[in-house]
Amino acid sequence: MCGIMGYSGARPPLPILLSGLERLEYRGYDSSGVAFFDDSDEIHVIRTTGKISALKDRVGKEEGHPGSAIGHIRWATHGAATVQNAHPHQSGPIVLVHNGIVENEQALKEELRREGVRFDSDTDTEVLAHLVSSAYRAGSDFPSSVQAALSRVEGSYALAIISRDHPSDLVVVRQGAPLLIGVGEGEAFAASDIPAFLHFTRQVYSMKNGEIAFIRHGSVKVGKLLDPPSEWKTPEFSTVSWDPFFAEKGTYRHFMEKEIFEGSRAVMDTFSGRIVGDRALPELLEALGERPGSITMVACGTSWHAALLGRLFIEAATGIPVSVEIASEFRYRPILSSREGWIVGISQSGETADTLGAIEAARKTGYKTLGITNVPGSTMERESGACLLTHAGPEIGVASTKAFQAQVAILLLMSLALSPGHVSMERIESLLRVPVRLESFLESMVSERFDPVIDRIRQSTLVLFAGRGLDYPLSLEGALKFKEITYRPADGYPSGELKHGPIALVEPGVTIVAPMIDSSLRTKEVSNLREIRARGGYVIALGPDIEESQRGVWYDDKVDLPHESASTGIFQAAAVLQYLAYRVAVMLGNDVDQPRNLAKSVTVE
């Protein structure tokens, strides 16, 4: 939700900011803006509604004067997507950009109004600009005025701030919203996510909550919000291994398409080095001690679907009871204390507010905490008792694809890691074959062989996704992917539930996509599909070993998967479901990478 970026250095800042904001655009795209100095050290603010392309048009050939500059892309929370509500916000000499929420906005606004302040926007952010400005005018130096202002603020924020009187300086703060600092030769960058500056440096410091940094060109000093600036120190930067290529579309039309086809690499990299002999993830039990008595998984959206698959893997392999919870619901329920229990949060971004909140709520009642995230340095990695990183690389498309594959991969490894006995070499070898099999399947997926099925789905009045066992979470994921980028009605169900209500929706024009990986439940699934066809529904079966002779009997059309292990089949079926949604959305002319109303990381409740 919103992305911020700051720069301080000897280069003209605007090309750097615009390229960085473009890479952050997945975080929001309602409006955007930049603030920079001109040759006379005057600050200029340019803001516009819509995407970065609109901002680029407004900026034109302007490059800005070397020194500091800030930029923002917005996912609207407080106030509509208008120019007035776009960031940066200015108050006197202070200009800032913000990602987060000011919770005591109303009280602060009333107080500032009583002091004669006039508000130009509906945002909570403007309050921050006025607070910093008033502390600055009262005589504090630039960084101290930020500290003074923030001591009055409740809520979450990542901030980048410049001051008219200090054209080389940049102050950034992190409290509850992600912020990373990258340092190069005589220059430094701050941004909500690493890809924003990955082209310029790989030396990264991930700020902790409650930290503030003062940046002047390549000099970076970090301290706690309450510590005097004289005590701030140069942080330790670490080298990130992410390849900048990940954040480029290459020859693909969309990031989502590229990322679907990067699924096999995501699985391969997530497996890599994680199996030693017949043991998987040895670091897991080293960090958390004994096998848990129970596991509760919390997540949102696609990550929640991965967790539902994880439950099936772990319960079958280990006998440990696993419950899977939607984070936003779980965190506000009474949580029964469990000293032997693990709470496992799953989040691609590692910044989803509800997932982090759910982990924290469980931690307080005695759970050991484990995070599974794709983003090194994210809040989830830093604040969980132990963390398993998936290695999908940066995921830019708002619809999660390769990150889901990597989550499923790590959950499979976790099921091996927690197995009570010896894991057979056969099982391990079969797992290690998954990425190669997925790779060759993905190569075959680019063909036109999906066209008839895609055409049918596109013309459907409603698309239902239904499956049993492993195929149920896959159905939920297929439906979510389809909804979020095609904007067409769709839903996912356990097939056994259809006749408890949803089957009333079935009539000619309705299509049912049925993943059929779980061979143990195929007979029952086939009966459910017959019931659908009997009511005029059109059934598209997706799986291995679907006999041609059954066409017109229990299915109408099919997408064949190779005859493989169920583990491999899950990844292949997920890729097909992602690709079907992608192709239909492209045909409909939708903005696939940045679907309406959504943002990549949901850092507000």
Query: Which residues make up the interface to ligand M6R (CB under 6 A)?
Result: 300-303, 347-349, 352, 355, 398-400, 480, 484, 601-602
For ligand M6R, the closer of residues 284 and 392 by Cβ is: 392
Q: Is 446 exposed, middle or buried (0-12, 13-18, 19+ CB in 10 A)?
A: exposed
Beta pairing partners, 371: 345, 387
Residue 476 Cβ vs ligand M6R, minimum distance, rounded to whole Å: 11
DSSP state letter for 336: P
Q: How is the chain split among helix, strand and coil, in percent rounded to 5?
A: 40, 25, 35
Cβ distance to ligand M6R smaller for residue 54 or 586: 586
Residues 542, 93: Cα–Cα separation, whole Å: 61
Q: Which is nearer to ligand M6R, 14 or 300 (CB)?
A: 300
Shortest Å distance, C-beta 303 to ligand M6R: 4
Strands 211-216, 166-175: pairing is antiparallel
Active-site residue, 221 included = no
Residue 187 beta carbon to ligand M6R: minimum distance, rounded to whole angstroms: 30
Cβ atoms 554, 539 nearer than 8 A: yes
Task: Compute the least distance from the CB of residue 127 to ligand M6R, in Å.
Answer: 27
Closer to ligand M6R at the Cβ: 136 or 304? 304
Nearer to ligand M6R, 27 or 558 (CB): 27
Edge-to-edge strand list for the sheet holding 510-515: 490-494, 462-467, 510-515, 538-543, 557-560
- For the CB of residue 593, give the shortest distance to ligand M6R in the complex, in Å: 11
Facing residues of 5 across strands? 71, 191
The catalytically annotated residue of 2, 300, 368, 402 is 2
Interacting residues of 556 by C-beta distance below 8 A, sequence separation 6+: 533, 538, 539, 540
Assess contact for 600 and 398: CB atoms under 8 A: yes
| Distance of closest approach, residue 53 Cβ to ligand M6R, in angstroms | 22
Hey, is 24 helix, strand or coil?
Answer: helix
Q: How far is the CB of 143 from ligand M6R (least distance, A)?
A: 32
Rounded to 5 degrees, φ, ψ at 313 are -65, -50
Question: Closest separation between CB of residue 345 and ligand M6R, Å?
Answer: 8
Q: Check whether the bond before 88 is cis (ω within 30° of 0).
A: yes
Enter the DSSP assignment of 289: -
| 3-class state of residue 350 by DSSP | coil
Nearer to ligand M6R by C-beta: 300 or 417?
300
The least CB distance from residue 30 to ligand M6R, in Å, is 16
State the Cα–Cα distance between residues 99 and 124, nearest whole angstrom: 10
Structure tokens at 466: 């239904």
| C-alpha to C-alpha distance for 44 and 394, rounded to whole angstroms | 32
* 133 vs 302 by CB, closer to ligand M6R: 302
- Short-list 401, 408, 463, 461, CA closest to 592: 401
**Which lies closer to ligand M6R via its Cβ, residue 471 or residue 484?**
484
Minimum Å gap between C-beta 386 and ligand M6R is 18
Q: Could you confirm whether 600 is annotated as catalytic?
A: yes
CA dihedral 508→510→515→519, nearest 10 degrees, is -40
CA distance 404 to 266: 9
User: Which pair of tokens denotes residue 307?
Assistant: 């967790």
Number of CB atoms found within 10 A of residue 394's CB:
22
Q: What are phi and psi of 295, to 5 degrees?
A: -130, 135
Tell the residue number behind the tokens 């996510």, with chain if given.
Answer: 193
Nearer of residues 69 and 604 to ligand M6R, judged by Cβ: 604
Largest CA distance in the chain: 84
Name the residue number minimizing CB distance to ligand M6R: 301
CB closer to ligand M6R, 318 vs 352: 352
Q: Which amino acid is at 372?
A: I
Q: How many CB atoms lie within 10 A of CB 336?
A: 10
Query: Which residues are tagged catalytic?
Result: 2, 600
